Every structure is written in C-alpha cells, then in structure tokens.
Amino acid sequence: MSWTDAYETIRFERRGRVITATLNLPDSLNAVNARMHTELSRVFVDLNDDAESDIVVLTGAGRAFCAGGDIDWMQDAIDAPRLFEQTAYEAKRIVFSQLDLEKPLICRLNGHAIGLGATIALGCDVVIADERAKIGDPHVAVGLVAGDGGAVLWSHLIGYLRAKEYLLTGDLIPAPEAARMGLINRAVPADTLDDDVDQLADRLASGARKAIRWTKVVSNLALKQVAHAVMDPSIAYESLSNVSDDHREAVAAFREKRAPKFTGN
C-alpha cells in the first residue's frame, strides 16, 4: 500500500521522477473542505519523504485550481467555533510544511486560485498559469482576516504597498497582470500549459539534484523566518474574525445569493 492511498481529496500521478499532486474536488472547483484541509496539512511532508520523486507539480482538477474555502465548512466553524482550533493548527502546518519541502514545487495554475488556493499557489517555487486564470485573496469579502498565509506571501512577492491593496480589497488579478507584477512567473495559453510545466519539470529533474534542492532551501530561509514571525498572530486574528458578525453575515449572504451588509462588528 502506497502512502498516496490514504488521500481522498488529492490524487497523485507519476512520470519518471516527477510526481503531480492534483486537488481533486472538481465539482466544487476544488474548494477546501475539512478533509482537504487536513490532507493539505500533511501532503507536503509526505511528498518530501517520497523516495521515488525529485520534482513536484501541484495543480487542480477541472476548470479551477482552488476556489478557496468551502462555504459549508465555513458555516460549520461559525456554528461550532471550537472547530477553528483544528483549522488554525492545520493552517500553520500547511504553510510551514510547504516552505520546508526541499524538492522543487511547480504550480500548474490551471484556473482561478482564490483565498487559501492563492496561498498554496504562491507558496510554490514557480507558478505557470493558464492566461485565463485569476488569482486573489478575498478573505475580507467573507469577513475574515487573510491569516492563512496571504499576509506572509503577498508582501514578500510584490511589496507591502501593492500587497496591502489587494489583500484589503480582495480584488482578483488576471494571470497576465499577475505575471507582469511578479506575483507569478508567467501566464501562457491554455494549450501550451502542460508542455511548459513538463519542460521545466524535466529540466529540473535532469539537473544536479542536491544543488537544486539546497539552492531552494537557502532561498526559502528568509521567507520561512517571516512565516514563523507572522503566522501565529495572523491565525489568531483570523480566529477572532471567524466569530464576528460580519463573517456570519457574509456566509449567510453567499448562501442566499445576495450582497452582504457589513456593520463593522
């Protein structure tokens, strides 16, 4: 039995020394539910320990990379706030274990990456996107603090001023614009996405494995220091916003297909 058999919401494929991990809830645009969140909190550890691969590709099934948090899961956390304790623990593990992964991690951004989906995409080493995709972190649109990694990654990639504009508004960025500002590496036509990702993966897989891995390790050191400084207060503030009136209103409005009416509470 392979370690991959323990996963229900992520599927795995191998091509030589390249392993592809696919978020696999396409009917919900790969929105993260409780099960996927738990699996994300351990998948990068398992991938790091996988003896049969040197390169990891991360992508989504269907027409989206990841639509963020599942709305029913959000409602569960509102109804039973103690559930957020497990979520908070896992959220830190997702970010830290992704940054600790020594193997090159390529994001095949096949569609929109929203909220936590954007965090996971931007935590990769290289992001190659379908030019039709959009990326953004609209935590504030559902009354939540962008605490699951957005505050760490966005400012590191595009600077504090620009990052705060997008985190405070929650606006989505088309992939070509995201590439121009340095948020992702490049946006390519849909029909060349697979070839572009495969070419890079194969080039890295045929390179000097130790030199490539350890170059990634040292390149991530400064970012890991920021993550360890920021994640605890970020998750704490997001936990507080989980029990706010505005978050409850935003979730209700989403379920009722109407615009939320925020009160600031």
Predicted confidence (pLDDT) at residue 214 exceeds the cutoff of 90: yes
Confidence class of residue 85 from pLDDT cuts 50, 70 and 90?
Answer: confident
pLDDT tens digits for 133-154? 999 999 999 999 999 899 999 9
Beta-bridge partners for 134: 174
Contact partners, residue 109, CB within 8 Å, separation at least 6: 59, 65, 121, 127, 128, 129, 130, 133, 135, 175, 184
Predicted confidence (pLDDT) at residue 81 exceeds the cutoff of 90: no
pLDDT at 208: 98
pLDDT at 83: 81
**pTM across the whole model:** 0.96
pLDDT tens digits for 99-114? 999 999 999 999 999 9
Quick check: 119 and 137 in contact, CB under 8 A? yes
pLDDT tens digits for 59-77? 999 999 999 999 999 999 9
Crossing angle for the helix pair 83-100 and 71-79, to the nearest 10 degrees: 130
Q: If you ran DSSP here, which 8-state letter would residue 265 be given?
A: -
pLDDT tens digits for 34-52? 999 999 999 999 999 999 9
Helix (H) or strand (E) holding 43: helix 34-49
pLDDT at 240: 93
pLDDT at 26: 98
Which superfamily, per CATH, for 3-213? 2-enoyl-CoA Hydratase; Chain A, domain 1 (3.90.226.10)
Domain ranges within the chain, ordered by starting residue: 3-213
Query: What are the backbone angles phi and psi of residue 140, rounded to the nearest 5°?
Result: -65, -25
pLDDT tens digits for 156-172? 999 999 999 999 999 99
Quick check: 230 and 222 in contact, CB under 8 A? no
How many C-alpha atoms does 195 have within 13 Å on its Cβ side? 5
Give the whole-number percent of the chain exceeding pLDDT 70: 100
Helix (H) or strand (E) holding 177: helix 175-180
pLDDT at 209: 96
